[in-house]
Structure 1
């Protein structure tokens, strides 16, 4: 789409802040008003629109996309989104360790991942069943219910970020630690890619895997930024 405006600005609105292009408020793809909860998020999204060249490139506007997701998707399909995120309570990446032929990897995972699980045990009064290999082992009903309650309690904008984050990380526990301020994105990202980084150390670099990881890292950091701006 060609750029059709000269100026983008964040403007105080009835329900927070909105984005105006040449003085006119914009709407989401589903035609909902683009109302934002904080001044900081409004300014950051206005900056994304202002930074566009002759062509509007949605790839360079991750904060806008997350806000649109909160207003178009989460607000109208909240239960489904909550279920998708909470499903990771039963299949979190952190539960699965190297099998019996990968003891060094399993030890490395225990060293790096167990502190996250220990934090979650204490924070949410839950327990976890860990397994060697990739065969699913269900978590307790209490753990699934408790973590689902935590997800359900989040606001729509936080859920929009969480939906992106859990998909990229494969871990609800890690995302909750990020939300709670226990870990930052810079610390978490290598932990979420621990096995891939381990394999690189053993067998060498795969340029395609590195490139794909870089794309996902940018998305992960953008979602983390979105969370921060929503709470500023």
Structure 2
């Protein structure tokens, strides 16, 4: 059986200011989330980015070609109603932050990790008064509760739309510190991706690339770049 796909039914796409934000109109119909909630967007820039995705649809609607729409839907339907739970889940990454777990060897790898990751831990100390301690090996270490609390406070103060982006910045890199560094524009998403891949790139240098793994990594990198862009749309005018 052929899967049913929604077809384009509109001619014009427009952005209009509404109370508390901006709405996208397909002809005279307001765009809603899949769950029929109002798709009220925080900035005109984000509304225009969503509108452009709908303008680009030709024939059948292709949700995978509309990342801004999908992120906005998630912010409204999934993140906003569970804000505290999402914040707690993301804050927990600080307890086992990627940047804190170093290899026992070889020396070249441990030096790469130190050179790449120590400056980010130093930045977190200066920016948030949150010093996380690196260890060798994979056994968990108890981090300073005050440091974890300071990082958690930063996450908890993030509103639903930017929190949706921060979710991807943290989960795709495996690091609360890296995610916050990208969100704070201390580093770019591309640099954050490189820093998160120190171990994987080392393995590739030793054993060569795996085509499937490379494709998966590239897809995740694209998601990370989208999250960075979506975050910027949360504050652009």
Structure-2-length-normalised TM-score: 0.93
Aligned to 2:11: 6
Q: Distance in 2 between matches of 1:200 and 1:6?
A: 49
Structure 1 residue 3, shift from structure 2 partner: 2.2
Contact 2:169 2:224 in 1 (8 A): yes
Gaps of 5+ in 1: none
Deviations 1:176-224 (A, max 9, x none): 1112111111221111112111211121111111100111011111111
Aligned to 1:49: 54
Aligned to 1:68: 73
**Of 176, 187, 191, which aligns to 2:191?**
187
Deviations 1:1-56 (A, max 9, x none): 22222222222111211111122101112221101111111101111111122121
Contact 1:189 1:217 in 2 (8 A): yes
Contact 1:63 1:223 in 2 (8 A): no
Number of residue equivalences: 231
Contact 2:94 2:151 in 1 (8 A): yes
Aligned to 1:175: 179
Gaps of 5+ in 2: 1-5
Give the SS at the match of 2:81.
coil
**Of 189, 196, 216, which aligns to 1:212?**
216
Give the SS at the match of 2:222.
helix
Contact 1:88 1:171 in 2 (8 A): yes
Contact 1:7 1:22 in 2 (8 A): yes
**Of 135, 144, 150, which aligns to 1:146?**
150
Q: Distance in 1 between matches of 2:148 and 2:194?
A: 26
Structure 1 residue 116, shift from structure 2 partner: 0.8
Q: Distance in 1 between matches of 2:89 and 2:97?
A: 12
Aligned to 1:135: 139
Q: Distance in 1 between matches of 2:67 and 2:118?
A: 32
1:85 is aligned to 2:90: yes
Q: Distance in 2 between matches of 1:30 and 1:194?
A: 40
1:106 is aligned to 2:110: yes
Over aligned residue pairs, what C-alpha RMSD do you find? 1.2
Deviations 1:94-145 (A, max 9, x none): 111112x433211101101111111001111122121112121121111111
| Bigger mean CA offset, 66-75 vs 5-14 | 5-14
